Amino acid sequence: MYGQEFTRENLRLLQAMPLEEKVRHALTMIENFYIKEQGKCYISFSGGKDSTVLAWLIQNEYNGKLIKDVPLVFSDTGLEYPEIRKFALNTMGAVRVAPELNYIEVIQKYGYPLISKQVSNAIENARITPGGTRWKRMHGEYKKTNGQRSQFDTSRYLPLMDLPIKISDKCCKAMKKSPMHKYERQTGRHPITGTTAAEGLLREQSWIGRGCNTYSISGRGAPKSNPLSPWLEQDILLYIKTRNVPICSVYGEIVYSDGDGLPMETSLDANAPLHCTGCQRTGCIFCPFGMHREKGLTRYQRLKQTHPRQYEFALGGGEWTKDENGKPLWTASKGGLGYAKVFDWVNEIYGKDFYRYE
């Protein structure tokens, strides 16, 4: 549409399109992917609102006769809200796949996810390879060619490397991606996902140079379609509201907000933002990625109110063991994940309100 260079500027042009153009663009991306992959596709379905919009697009919005027999596949990790799991398996009737490890085992083997995928990955690799690229990012030595600070610099979080815990971003791969990859090998199908480029720097970087679709014949990586890449959060919410798309109850209602963020039944301003009265995002119920940036109630404070049993399991438990060098190591236990101690350590470094969980 805006050339085939897939630059950041092209992405911004796509993101600026009105919703109806984004709908047509997404359907074109899906159809192109379906044709080139000869129908061997599946919808990567989490039960969240983004993947629900994706499924609705394909099952209800598409007016052609070409796309059919595209299953929804749900990775039943045990980390979803109970309502999300029920919605995915019962309401949408998704095919179920499951990981080989549970979350306790993943934390014990790989470590806790903290701050973001980028930071957790940098910490893990900096510990393994001193002097390497990730180590340089953690120590402020990763610069742009002009000598300025790189957007990938993670030196603010260098003190986390001294905490007596493993830190890693591998939980998503172990819990979600691996079961999906196994399904792909068994069926020969390729994923269509509901991820958006606006969700984070890594997903934006993934779009640049590739675009929404990566085909088997392209040689640019594993075949995958991300047709909602140009969509913004407000596009997702507006689509759900205007199409009356059924979404999981954990999100509550989608309402307009006034200038103070308070809900309104109707909008007096065409540009008034939308938000969910329940969870804004779902994903993995215990994941703290990005929680330090949340305003108002954080996901853990909300979890305390809505799902107290899961809240207590996440914060409680934990145990001291030893790492491969015999040093004390805090990790998850059968009694709980031990996040309270982890959050408190982080708050000692960055301030008591960095991770708000009580």
Which of 79-83, 103-107, 266-270 is the least confident region?
Answer: 266-270
Domain co-membership, 224 together with 354? no
Residue 353, Cβ density class (10 Å: 0-12 exposed, 13-18 middle, ≥19 buried): exposed
Over 70: is that where the pLDDT of 270 sits?
Answer: no
Q: pLDDT by residue (tens digit) across 277-307?
A: 888 888 889 999 999 998 888 999 999 999 9
DSSP string, 296-354: SS-HHHHHHHH-HHHHHHHHSB-EEEE-TTS-EEEE-BTTBB-HHHHHHHHHHHH-TTS
Over 60: is that where the pLDDT of 312 sits?
Answer: yes
Over 80: is that where the pLDDT of 167 sits?
Answer: yes
User: Given this model, what pLDDT does residue 232 score?
Assistant: 94
Domain co-membership, 176 together with 152? no
Domain co-membership, 12 together with 53? yes
**Mean pLDDT along residues 141-145:** 80
Domain co-membership, 195 together with 331? no
User: Given this model, what pLDDT does residue 264 score?
Assistant: 55
134 domain-assigned: yes
Q: pLDDT by residue (tens digit) across 17-36?
A: 999 999 999 999 999 999 99
Q: Is the dihedral of CA 314, 49, 55, 204 positive or negative?
A: negative
pTM value surpassing 0.85: no
Which of 322, 343, 326, 236 shows the shortest CA–CA distance to 281? 236
Domain co-membership, 133 together with 154? yes
The total domain count for the chain is 3
Q: pLDDT by residue (tens digit) across 44-56?
A: 999 999 999 999 9
Calculated CA dihedral for residues 90, 95, 101, 105, nearest 10 degrees: -30
User: Given this model, what pLDDT does residue 92 score?
Assistant: 77
User: Given this model, what pLDDT does residue 314 score?
Assistant: 97
251 domain-assigned: no
318 domain-assigned: yes
Which of 62-66, 152-156, 241-245 is the least confident region?
Answer: 62-66
Domain co-membership, 95 together with 130? no
User: Given this model, what pLDDT does residue 268 score?
Assistant: 46
Dmax (CA) of the chain: 63
User: Given this model, what pLDDT does residue 1 score?
Assistant: 43
pLDDT classification of 3: cutoffs 50, 70, 90: very low
Over 80: is that where the pLDDT of 271 sits?
Answer: no
Domain co-membership, 178 together with 222? yes
Over 60: is that where the pLDDT of 263 sits?
Answer: no
User: Given this model, what pLDDT does residue 265 score?
Assistant: 55
CB 231 within 8 A of CB 21: no
Domain co-membership, 218 together with 310? no
Domain with 304, as residue range(s), is 293-358
Sequence letter at residue 249? S
- CATH code (residue 94): 3.40.50.620
**Mean pLDDT along residues 160-188:** 95
**Average pLDDT over the chain, rounded to an integer:** 90
Domain co-membership, 93 together with 187? yes
Over 50: is that where the pLDDT of 2 sits?
Answer: no
What is the distance between the alpha carbons of residues 88 and 251, in angstroms, rounded to a whole number? 14
What is the distance between the alpha carbons of residues 300 and 303, in angstroms, rounded to a whole number? 5
